[in-house]
């Protein structure tokens, strides 16, 4: 199964924010190759995907993902490709010092990107909840052994009478 991230819809943002020259060109070539190998259908066995292509796209503040170009490319390749639209962006490390990246994604920004799925007739996939940025972020300062707090979620001692 292929699960690539398609972060930017142009080469400039890829170079500027991730230091990857020709980002869009390289990612679009790689995704085209993945698509040629497996197509757009997902193959399930026992309720688990075992073959297919799911493209992850993280919405960034201030339109810095250039999501429309990402979706336009995907739709031209095959509008049946599955997309996981993610809202979990949280500024860390050097992003905190960049005025364009130093905040979470606003609801209006995420809604605009989600609407683009309809514009390009991309109907297969998943849309993450806006609150996900609070749940999918590890806290290594608080607990290095359980940074996501999973042990608390699945503590069986809480279930005993």
Q: What is the pLDDT along the chain (161 residues), one digit of tens a residue?
A: 999 999 999 999 999 999 999 999 999 999 999 999 999 999 999 999 999 999 999 999 999 999 999 999 999 999 999 999 999 887 777 777 888 988 889 999 999 999 999 999 999 999 998 877 666 666 667 777 776 666 666 554 555 55
Identify the pLDDT of residue 147: 67
Identify the pLDDT of residue 161: 52
Identify the pLDDT of residue 158: 54
Identify the pLDDT of residue 153: 61
Residues 118-134: b if buried by 16+ CB within 10 A, e if exposed? eebebeebeebebeebe
State the pTM of this model: 0.84
SS3 content of the chain, % helix, strand, coil (to 5): 45, 15, 45
In the chain, how many H helices and how many E strands? 5, 5
Assess contact for 77 and 36: CB atoms under 8 A.
no
Identify the pLDDT of residue 94: 79
Identify the pLDDT of residue 101: 87
How far apart, in whole angstroms, are the C-alpha atoms of residue 85 and residue 125? 8
């Amino acid at each position: 199964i292929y699960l690539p991230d398609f972060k930017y819809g142009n080469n400039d943002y890829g170079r500027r924010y991730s230091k990857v020259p020709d980002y869009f060109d390289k990612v679009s070539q790689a995704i085209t190759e993945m698509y040629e190998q497996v197509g757009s259908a997902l193959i399930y066995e026992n309720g688990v995907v075992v073959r297919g292509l799911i493209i992850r796209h993280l919405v960034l503040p201030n339109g810095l993902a250039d999501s429309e170009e990402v979706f336009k490319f995907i739709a031209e390749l095959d509008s049946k490709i599955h997309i996981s639209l993610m809202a979990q962006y949280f500024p860390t490390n050097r992003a905190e010092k960049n005025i364009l990246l130093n905040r979470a994604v606003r609801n209006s920004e995420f809604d605009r990107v989600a609407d683009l799925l309809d514009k390009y007739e991309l109907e297969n996939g998943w849309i993450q909840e806006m609150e996900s940025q609070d749940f999918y972020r590890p806290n290594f300062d608080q607990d290095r052994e359980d940074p996501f707090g999973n042990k608390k979620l699945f503590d069986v001692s809480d279930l005993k009478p």
